Amino acid sequence: MLRFRQIEAALFPGCSFTPKRVFSPISVVKGSSLNGCLSPATVRALCRGGVNTPEQLVAIEPEELLKLPGLGPAKLKEIEDVFYPSKRLARSSSQCGRE
């Protein structure tokens, strides 16, 4: 917020703006190069499973990813959308919500 106030004072002397809500900065996972590509929750789940780089991520089968704690079908879909935009990884019908 301090940096905002400095910019505000430089651009609009004598005026003040108070935001209704101050958003926190995007959290990052230290030591992971997946930050920014995926949501912080997905990156944390992958890091807990020892996956820190895109190379490690694409080397793991989707079935193995689903075994990681905190990584379910929704996060797997996010990974597919980012790393495999033109194709969908093979999943069983029960994982897709169809019987």
Tokens at 59, concatenated: 């080397």
Residues 6+ apart with CB under 8 A from 17: 8
How confident is the prediction along the chain (99 residues), in pLDDT tens digits per residue? 578 788 888 998 888 877 777 666 667 788 888 888 888 899 999 999 999 999 999 899 889 999 999 999 999 999 988 888 776 555 544 444 444
Q: What is this structure's pTM?
A: 0.61
What backbone phi and psi angles, to 5 degrees, belong to 76? -65, -40
| 8 Å CB contact between 37 and 82 | yes
Chain-centroid distance of CA 50 in Å reads 16
